[in-house]
Amino acid sequence: MAKQHGAWHLADNPQLYEPARSNNFEFVATGIGDLLKSGLDDAVEHGSNDYITNAQETIRVSVVSSSVPHYSVGQIEVKRGNDTIKFAGTPRFNDLPLVVNDYMGARTKDAIMAWQALAYNVRNGHVNRATNYKKECRLIEFTPDYKEILREWVIEGAWVSEVQEGAFSNEEEGKRTVTATIVFDRAYLLDSSEYTNLEDEGA
């Protein structure tokens, strides 16, 4: 038993105590293909430069960080006499901040803003129907060798409610990143039998 108080117990059981890594993951927004640039009117004809092609792949390879989707359960209080008891209320899923690198050639920021514009077009003031902007996303956690999936979340009804980025400055240097606030209806973990097929994904 004394062995369990130190690190040797972990070293003798590497199959159990291999730590998961925070950088072995992918965020995939499925069902996003070619998107019209933010602010452009989809009722008129546009040239090829006005479209962000394969926005799903652009966002996937640009992701720097993603929060893990979680929910909190509300409380219903019932009071009687001097006591209070609590019951489960309705769940609330927290917003998910998604940080991406602003790659110029891939037009990552344009892709994020175009996804946001599917919900609201700032030029014509139209709020689109949910079928246009709500997407299913996947957050996939891998083993360090990327040969197995540890966990996979399905994020349903996801869309971009806000886009934020740092200010320009002549006094600083560094890469540009964009933070998209992803709101969604619900998220859940898949059973291992439902995980994405890595062979189909080319892993």
**Two tokens at 116?**
């946001």
Summarize pLDDT for 82-117 with one digit per residue, the tens.
999 999 999 999 999 999 999 999 999 999 999 999
The yes-or-no verdict on residue 202 having pLDDT over 90 is: no
In a domain, 3, yes or no: no
In a domain, 11, yes or no: no
Confidence of residue 2 (pLDDT cuts 50, 70, 90): low
Predicted pLDDT of residue 41: 67
> What CATH code is carried by the domain that includes residue 191?
2.30.110
The count of structural domains within the chain is: 1
Predicted pLDDT of residue 3: 59
What is d(CA 189, CA 111) in angstroms, rounded to the nearest whole number?
27
In a domain, 82, yes or no: yes
Confidence of residue 12 (pLDDT cuts 50, 70, 90): confident
Highest-pLDDT range among 7-21, 29-43, 62-76, 110-124: 62-76
In a domain, 8, yes or no: no
Q: Return the ∠ at Cα 190 (arms to 76 and 147), rounded to 5°.
A: 145
Predicted pLDDT of residue 138: 97
**What CA–CA distances, in Å, run from 147 to 138, 140, 164, 192, 198?**
17, 12, 34, 14, 8
Predicted pLDDT of residue 193: 94
In a domain, 116, yes or no: yes
The yes-or-no verdict on residue 179 having pLDDT over 90 is: yes
User: Chain-wide mean pLDDT for the chain?
Assistant: 91
Confidence of residue 7 (pLDDT cuts 50, 70, 90): confident
Predicted pLDDT of residue 201: 64
Confidence of residue 40 (pLDDT cuts 50, 70, 90): low
**Which ranges in the chain belong to alpha helices (H)?**
8-11, 14-17, 55-62, 108-117, 130-133, 198-201
Summarize pLDDT for 137-149 with one digit per residue, the tens.
999 999 999 999 9
In a domain, 1, yes or no: no
In a domain, 108, yes or no: yes
Summarize pLDDT for 117-130 with one digit per residue, the tens.
999 988 888 899 99
The yes-or-no verdict on residue 4 having pLDDT over 80 is: no
Structural domain of residue 87, as residue ranges?
A: 19-201
Percent of the chain with pLDDT over 70: 93
In a domain, 65, yes or no: yes
